[in-house]
Amino acid sequence: MATMVFVNFPVTDVKRSTEFYEKLGFKKNEEFSNEQSSSMVWDDNFWIMLLDHSFYSKFIKDKKIADAKSTSGVLVAFSMESADAVKNFAETAKANGGDFYKVDMGIPEDMMFGLEVQDPDGNSLEPTWMKM
């Protein structure tokens, strides 16, 4: 059985975040979504759960939710089929309220290419293509 990965992101506006991730190519799974959360599916093994702050807080006991715009708690990397797909993903994010930047790893683009992408709440994704 393949392992499924569910990344949970705290968001300030579930509707806005849902629309943002849909524009990136995620599909909303209505069965696991409600007014406090959206279940966003990339493929059979990778999902992002968008949780409003009150719902997210239930899972972190006495911890505070980090402001992902100023504090990094996690960087979620995932593979894409090409460098162009990575670029398109990042440009779509920027056109819809997110942002992105490149970290120079000293690796030629024809071997590996990735970008650091942030959603409107500052949650980080790292779409990456690698020559296999």
Structure tokens at 121: 């709440």
Query: Going from the N-terminus, what domains does the chain have, and what CATH number goes with each?
Result: 5-130 (3.10.180.10)
* pLDDT at residue 93 in the model: 98
* pLDDT at residue 3 in the model: 87
Secondary structure (DSSP) of 25-77: T-EEEEEEEETTEEEEEEETTEEEEEEEHHHHHTTSTTPPPP-TTT----EEE
CA dihedral 78, 58, 27, 19 (to 10 degrees): -100
Closest CA relative to residue 39, chosen from 59, 54, 22: 22
**C-alpha–C-alpha distance, residues 98 and 69, integer Å:** 11
The per-residue pLDDT string of the chain (132 residues; one tens digit each, 9 = 90 and over) reads: 788 999 999 999 999 999 999 999 999 999 999 999 999 999 999 999 999 999 999 999 999 999 999 999 899 999 999 999 999 999 999 999 999 999 998 999 999 999 999 999 999 999 999 998
Secondary structure (DSSP) of 41-53: EEETTEEEEEEEH
* pLDDT at residue 2 in the model: 83
* pLDDT at residue 73 in the model: 84
